[in-house]
Amino acid sequence: MVLLKLKFPFQKRVRLAQGLWLLSWVAMFSGAVTFATGVFLKTELHRRSEVMHSMDIHIVPNLLMVVGLASVGINICAGKVCQDSLDPSRFPRWKTLLLPFFCLSVFFTSLLLVAMILSYALQPSLEESLKIGLKNGIRFYKDTDTPGRCFQKETIDRPQIEFQCCGNTNYRDWFEVQWISNRYLDFTSKEVKDRVRSNVDGRYLLDGVPFSCCNPASPRPCIQYSLLDNNAHYNYEYQSEELNLYNRGCRQALVSYYMGLMNTIGPCVLLVFLLQMAILVGLRYLQTAMEGVLGQENVEIETEGYILEKGVKETLLETKEKMMKLLQFAQVGDASAETPGSEPEAEKPATA
């Protein structure tokens, strides 16, 4: 049974070819935009790769770039097919190429849907990656003299200022690490000695945060140190008063930023996917309708177009049989290649 059969008079075929030609150019532009979107997202992720533990999320921009480039090529070919379908003498050269073309097009178009699904499915992975990456970044914040970590301080300070956040979960994360290098500590000071001795690991811990945690919108000058000591500052009570620091953690801020990008890109990718699938369906109708014209003297006759020549179940079974035959043929070829040839008999030694 033919699937979704339609009648196509001559004028309807012409209008279909012209409409698909126009849509293919729109889809080609959409493919270029998809590629540019992938490049932008890849750049944004790469900018903060030092605060990410894993790069799993990079599969989304990589897919967008690959599919964007493929979409440009697919729609250029689709536009050429639409042009040649208006001339029955030029269309036959596409007859053997269209089946592989449709298979590749459906494959790359499906990757758009995969990219959109992964952009939402990988949110827990992104959050866990930022959690570990920020934790390590805060721990190595002080190592400005250590090779390989010279820019770690800047790597943490910049996101805290740009995204108006502090710490991993909140500002208290800075209380658990020594974020001031020993190079800038006066070990002759009694206060420094007492703090280092009071810690089991010999670290200089304090209830303070770096300058990048300060909120410039606060009317009070920034309080960075002795945050948990009400007596250290005039008219200050940390338990009831909102501190003049950023309250939001950087993990939450970065996840919100990246998921905001994903939520914007996702619907756009879905629209590109639907547009591309509509073009492929229309192109399939045009192909099958034009095949009815081949070999006919009157090219303006009415023809039939369809999606599948048989039903879905029959087509799948037929495709499975063809694949099994190809696999059997490949196995037979490998077996014949591995069969050792007859070796020449060794010459008998001459007797005296």
Q: Per-residue pLDDT tens for 259-315?
A: 999 889 989 999 999 999 999 999 888 888 888 777 666 767 777 777 776 666 776
pTM over 0.85? The answer is no
Whether residue 36 lies inside any domain: the answer is yes
Q: Are 177 and 236 found together in one domain?
A: yes
CB–CB of 303/289 below 8 Å? yes
Q: In the predicted model, what is the mean pLDDT of residues 56-67? A: 92
Q: Which domain range does residue 103 map to?
A: 6-125+253-312
Distance CA 152, CA 31 (A): 37
Does 117 share its domain with 259? yes
State yes or no: pLDDT of 96 exceeds 50. Answer: yes
Q: Looking at residues 59-78, what average pLDDT do you find?
A: 92
| Closest of 114, 25, 39, 37 to residue 71, by C-alpha | 25
Among the candidates 224, 247, 270, a domain finishes at: 247
Separation of CA 111 from chain center: 10
Torsion of CA 314, 317, 321, 326, to 10 degrees: 100
DSSP one-letter code for 73: H
Residue 331 in domain:
no
pLDDT at site 198: 82
Contacting residues for 254 by C-beta, under 8 A, at least 6 apart: 48, 51, 130, 159, 163, 165
pLDDT of residue 240: 63
CA distance 212 to 165: 9
Check residues 82 and 199 and name the one with the higher pLDDT.
82
49 plus 195 within the same structural domain: no
Predicted local distance difference test score (pLDDT) of residue 340: 54
Number of domains in the chain: 2
**Quick check: is 136 in a domain?**
no
Write the DSSP symbol of residue 188. T
pLDDT over 80 (residue 117): yes
The answer to which of 48-62, 172-186, 236-250, 268-282 has the lowest mean pLDDT is 236-250
Q: Helices then strands (H, E): number in the chain?
A: 8, 2
| Residue at 138 is within a domain | no
Instruction: Take residue 300 and report the two structure tokens written for it.
Output: 């303006």
Same domain, 119 and 210: no
Residues 111 and 189 in one domain: no
CA proximity to 48, closest of 251, 214, 263, 212: 251
pLDDT at 75: 92
User: What is the pLDDT at residue 331?
Assistant: 66
Does residue 210 fall inside a structural domain? yes
Q: What percent of the chain has pLDDT over 90?
A: 34
Pairs from 278-283 (Cβ < 8 Å, separation ≥ 24): 278/23, 279/20, 279/23, 279/24, 279/27, 279/75, 279/78, 280/102, 280/105, 280/106, 280/109, 281/307, 282/16, 282/19, 282/20, 282/23, 283/20, 283/78, 283/81, 283/82, 283/102
Residues 100 and 119 grouped into a single domain: yes
| pLDDT tens-place string over residues 176-207 | 999 988 888 888 888 888 888 887 678 888 88
Residue 7's H or E segment, with its range, is: strand 6-8
What is the average per-residue pLDDT within 106-131?
A: 90
Asked if 62 and 205 sit in the same domain, the reply is no
pLDDT band at 342 (very low <50, low <70, confident <90, very high): very low
Please give the C-alpha separations between residue 220 and each of 226, 241, 282, in angstroms, as whole numbers. 15, 12, 65
In a domain, 223, yes or no: yes
The reply to whether 133 falls in a domain is no
Question: Of 192, 213, 247, which marks where a domain is finished?
Answer: 247
